[in-house]
Amino acid sequence: MGIFDKIFKGGCSCDVDETLKENTVKKEGIMTIKILGTGCKNCTNLTDNVEKAIASLNIEANIEKVTDMGNISSYGIMSTPGLVIDEKVVSYGKVLKPEEIVKIIEKL
């Protein structure tokens, strides 16, 4: 039930094309990969391995480095480096090899 006992049927009353809405939410299908860490050697190694994995898959991705501890802790990880793909934590506390990252990306 919704407000004033009205049933909310979902959807939007605006005239925005559904495809446009999906592309806006998913950033036009480009994967977003975040490396969570303070910039230590392990974080740098994970970043390098992510770049190798992306290159081997021949895909486009936005790679972001998150160094703020407040932002890092908001993902619920307690040890770095962390790897987040499209806002899903897929690894933390270790440096994944490029082959491992490829397997994770292929499963998503």
| Cα 21 to Cα 46: distance, rounded to the nearest angstrom | 33
DSSP annotation of 87 reads T
Please report, in angstroms and rounded to a whole number, the separation of the first and last CA atoms in the chain: 34
Phi, psi of 9 (to 5 degrees): -95, 0
Instruction: Supply the residues annotated as catalytic.
Output: 40, 43
